[in-house]
Amino acid sequence: MEMAKTKLLIITHEMSPFLELTKISEITRQLPQAMQEKGFEIRILMPKFGNINERRNRLHEVIRLSGMNIIIDDNDNPLIIKVASIPAARMQVYFLDNEDYFHRKYVFRDKENKFYADNDERTIFFCKGALETVKKLGWSPDVVHCHGWMTALVPAYIKTTYKNDPTFKNAKVVYSVYENCFDEKLNPEFHKKAIMNHMTGADTEAFASGDCNSLHIGAITHADAVVFADEKIDEAVLKFVKDSNKPTLAFNLTENYDNFYTFYEEVANDELVSIA
C-alpha cells in the first residue's frame, strides 16, 4: 500500500521571486521545492503586500476562498485570497490580501522608514487569515513551518483555538528563528488584541513586550520544534529554546535540505529528541 504523502504547510511573510527582503525569501523558495521533490505535498501562504506586482507575477483571485472576514478588535476585515504559480517548481502560492492592511507601497515601514503603527494588527490578520484559508482549502497539514516574525502567532493559535479543529489537531508546528527582525515594539495592546476564542491572557503573555525577542519566544512557547535559521541568535532566545527541551535543528545543518526532510518526518512522527 502506498504511504500517504507528508503534508507541509509553509507560512512566511516573504518568498522569492514575489518579495525579497531578507534571506527568508530564498529559503522559503528553495525549501518547499526540495521537499516536494522528496514526495511531500506542499502549500505556501504569504501576505499580498502592495509592492508585489500582480501582473508580472500573474496573481489572480480565488473566488471560492475569498469572502471571509477576520475580526480584530471587534472590527471585521475582509480577506481576499489570490494565487500564483511557480512554473519551474509546479508549486502554488496563496496570497492573503486586505485593502487596509496591505495596499501600500512599502512593507513594514513607510517612505520615511517609520515602522507602521498597525504592524501588530497586520500580523494578527495574517496569522488568523492563514489558518482560516487552510481550513477553507479542506487540507490538513502534518507539519506547519512558520518563517519570519510575522508568523509568530500561528503556533499559539494552532495549540489553543484550533487544537481540536479537524484541520489542525494532528499538525506539528515548527518555528524558524531568524536574526533579521526589527528594533521597534509593536502596539502595547498587541498581546491582548491577539487573543482568540478558547484562549486566555496567559496564552499570549509571552508576546507582551511586543519586541522581536518576545515574538520569537511566544512562538517557541507553542511550537513543537525549532529551527535556528541564523548563526547569530539572541542569547535570551537561545537560552529559552535550550531550557524548553524542544527538538531543534542547528544552524550548521540547515543548508542541507535532506536534514529538513529527516527533521520534518521525525517531528511529524514524534520521534525526535534534538539535532543540535
Query: Is 24 contained in some domain?
Result: yes
142 and 122 Cβ atoms separated by less than 8 Å: no
Q: What percent of the chain has pLDDT over 70?
A: 96
Q: Is 144 exposed, middle or buried (0-12, 13-18, 19+ CB in 10 A)?
A: buried
Residues with Cβ within 8 Å of residue 238, at least 6 apart in sequence: none
Q: Amino acid identity, residue 185? A: K
Pairing between β-strand 68-72 and β-strand 172-177 as defined by DSSP bridges: unpaired
Please state, in angstroms and rounded to a whole number, the distance separating the CA atoms of residues 15 and 30: 9
Query: Is 229 contained in some domain?
Result: yes
User: pLDDT (tens digit, 9 = 90+) per residue, 151-172?
Assistant: 999 999 999 999 999 999 999 9
Query: Is 213 contained in some domain?
Result: yes
The domain total for the chain is: 1
50 and 102 Cβ atoms separated by less than 8 Å: yes
Phi then psi for residue 144, to 5 deg, are -115, 120
Query: Is 228 contained in some domain?
Result: yes
Mean pLDDT of 76-85: 94
Q: What percent of the chain has pLDDT over 90?
A: 73
- Mean pLDDT of the residues in the chain: 91
Mean pLDDT of 65-94: 89
Query: Is 276 contained in some domain?
Result: no
Question: Is the confidence at residue 2, as pLDDT, over 60?
Answer: no
pLDDT score at 276? 44
pLDDT score at 64? 86
61 and 94 Cβ atoms separated by less than 8 Å: no
Task: For residue 247, give its domain range.
Answer: 7-268
Mean pLDDT of 107-136: 95
Query: Is 274 contained in some domain?
Result: no
pLDDT score at 73? 84
Question: Is the confidence at residue 1, as pLDDT, over 80?
Answer: no
CATH number at residue 78: 3.40.50.2000
Query: Is 273 contained in some domain?
Result: no
125 and 80 Cβ atoms separated by less than 8 Å: no
* Residue scoring higher pLDDT (274 or 182): 182
Say whether the peptide bond before residue 17 is cis (omega within 30 degrees of 0).
yes
Mean pLDDT of 216-240: 93
Q: Cell 484541520, residue?
A: 167
pLDDT score at 254? 76
